[in-house]
Amino acid sequence: MANFIHFLISVTLTFIFVSVVCVNTSPAARNELPLGSFPVTINHTDSINTTECNLGWKTPSNTNDTIQYCTYKQRSKKTAFCLSFFLGTFGADWFYLSRSSFAYIIVGLLKLLLGCGCCSAWPLTYFGSESQNTEAIKLKFRGVSTFITLFAFVWWIVDWARILGNKFADGNGEALMSW
């Protein structure tokens, strides 16, 4: 049983690692525009320049001296919420919003390990020998497992609230694209 759980954890971590590498090396993750696209409309009226970006594109807030209009593709709030709702206990929302941010990837891995721990700890407490020595260990293990499960559940709910309340920025500190 323990070998099977180790196998599942290693497969999950490998899948997450490959997904993060593939997502963060795509042209959209590097904020590059696809060839031939120019997502900006500049209106010149009365010598006032106003810039209107197409939906999902914005001017980055951390620009240096050069102004590059509408070159940053925002992450979708709807996708972030759906990932958080269905796969949030495994950190999928943090990986999606990471944008190559080391801190977001570390928090996603922490959430993944916490989610795997609380999901795998419950069945492990019901298998094994029934001697008196192991019953005390199982009781303590169940208490720790219950605490970890409650902590993971609260973290899951807080991430929903942050996404829906527009308080969850992506890895570069930019706001998510609205619904």
pLDDT higher than threshold 50 for residue 154: yes
Strand boundaries in the chain, DSSP class E: 40-45, 48-53, 57-58, 72-73
Q: Residue 47's pLDDT is what? A: 45
Task: Say if residue 43's pLDDT is above 60.
Answer: no
- What single-letter DSSP state applies at residue 35? T
Tell me the C-alpha distance between 166 and 179, whole Å.
11
Query: What per-residue confidence (pLDDT) applies to 46?
Result: 47
Percentage, residues of the chain above pLDDT 70: 58
The reported pLDDT for the residue numbered 35 is 40
**pTM for the whole thing?**
0.65
- The secondary structure of 16-84 as a DSSP string is HHHHHHHHHTSTTTTTPPPTT---EEEEEETTEEEEEEPTTEE--TT--SS--TT-EEPPBHHHHHHHH
* Top-ranked range on mean pLDDT: pick from 3-17, 53-67, 117-131: 53-67
In this structure, the number of other CB atoms found within 10 A of the CB of residue 83 comes to 21
Query: What residue segments make up the domains of the chain, in order of their start?
Result: 2-31+75-164
pLDDT at 33 over 60: no
pLDDT at 119 exceeding the cut of 80: no
Residue 62 has pLDDT above 70, yes or no: no
